[in-house]
Amino acid sequence: MPTSIPVPDAVPTVAVNPVVLKADGRAYPLELRVTAPLAGDALPIVILSHGGGSSPYLKSKDGYSPLVDFYASRGFAVIQPTHLSGLGLDPSTPGYPVFWRSRIDDFRLILDNLDAIETPVFAGRFDATRVAIVGHSAGANTACALLGARTNGLDLRDPRISAGVLLAPTGTAEGMTDTARERFPDLDADFSHLTTRALVVYGDEDDEPLFTTRGAAWHAEPYHLSPGADALLTLPGAKHYLGGVMGYSLAESDDEDPDRLAVTQRMTWAYLWSALHAGDPAWQQATDALSRLPELGQVQAK
């Protein structure tokens, strides 16, 4: 059972929604949801970058409750922006549909304004020296850029981010179909510059023939091609939603599975906690436990 992967007991949480940041040059103010434990100080921070999808409210600050609830109830302050891609903008809008550069700018704005985001409910309770990013799908591509991966030679790495988790990330442009490469030119990432430590998570049945010619393994390329990604979690039977990370009981989830979701929750929590707390054994304990459950997942490490 995935419950044998050790994590702390859940504690009560509180969420503030929306927190609004004005941004020069952005078509709309940046809206955030901030979720954190009800008590406690020096809370490490997880910033979460959503992916796409057909449901309008999931690809926003209001999605990913299975991850946000889990992380926040076990010690993290979680900050979720709604990127421009989650606003249902007209296809003629510059940057549509991914709004790649705007996504990265959203996180710079967040990190520049942590004091304002904390106030008034969480004032003084966040630890700005311990920041990690979690991204899913297109959001994982955003995370890759902030961890050091380059597109068109641009170095957009943010040194304030100490670690990342890449959930079902996009791979290289060489592995994309011609149609996908033409529609999403900004997803052409060079992972050789991704130097910040990261965990890559993918499902071995996440095969999207309209998007990639390399099958599910395409999503593992950020691990194999970067010096920073130091761990790869493979989920047998998982597809793009990794057990249901975007929300509870979703019609669009192609692989909703409570056990698989529990593995995703617990393993990513453990990686993040150890990455932001030097010497903490959570990740080692989690990998030891999962090694006895190979039917649920396997970890490869550099």
Q: Quick one: DSSP state of residue 10?
A: P
Q: Assess whether pLDDT exceeds 90 at residue 223.
A: yes
Least confident of 49-58, 176-185, 202-211, 216-225: 49-58
Pairing of strands 13-21, 30-37: antiparallel
* pLDDT value at residue 86: 80
Lowest mean pLDDT segment, chosen from 22-31, 80-89, 136-145, 149-158: 80-89
Q: Is the peptide bond before 2 cis (omega within 30 degrees of 0)?
A: no
Q: How many domains does the chain have?
A: 1
Please report the pLDDT score of residue 218 as a whole number. Answer: 98
Q: Does residue 168 register a pLDDT over 80? A: yes
Indicate the pTM of the whole model: 0.97
Q: At what angle do helices 258-276 and 282-290 cross, to 10 degrees?
A: 150
Provide the CATH number for the domain around residue 208. 3.40.50.1820
Amino acid identity for residue 107 in this structure: F
CA distances from 260 to 2, 75, 246, 273 (A): 8, 22, 13, 20
Does residue 261 carry a pLDDT above 80? yes
Rounded alpha-carbon distances, angstroms, from residue 278 to 133, 259, 274, 283, 299? 17, 29, 6, 11, 20
143 closest CA partner among 106, 95, 96: 106
64 Rama sector, left if φ>0, alpha if ψ -120 to 50, beta otherwise: left
Asked whether 19 and 53 are in contact (CB, 8 A), the reply is: no
Structure tokens of 222? 């950020």
The better pLDDT of the pair 204, 255 is held by 204
Q: How many CA atoms lie within 13 A of 231 on its CB side?
A: 23
Asked if residue 96 lies in contact with residue 89, where contact means CB atoms within 8 angstroms, the answer is yes
Q: What is the mean pLDDT of the chain?
A: 95
Q: State residue 119's pLDDT score.
A: 86
The answer on pLDDT for 25 being more than 90 is no
pLDDT tens digits for range 180-206: 999 999 889 999 999 999 999 999 999
Its domain, for residue 292, covers 2-301
SS3 for 197? coil
Q: Which of 296, 269, 294, 263 is nearest to 7 (CA)?
A: 269
Alpha helices in the chain (DSSP H): 65-72, 100-112, 114-118, 138-147, 178-183, 221-224, 258-276, 282-290
In whole angstroms, give the CA distance from residue 103 to residue 158. 13
Q: E strands within the chain?
A: 13-21, 30-37, 43-49, 77-81, 126-136, 163-167, 198-203, 229-235, 298-301
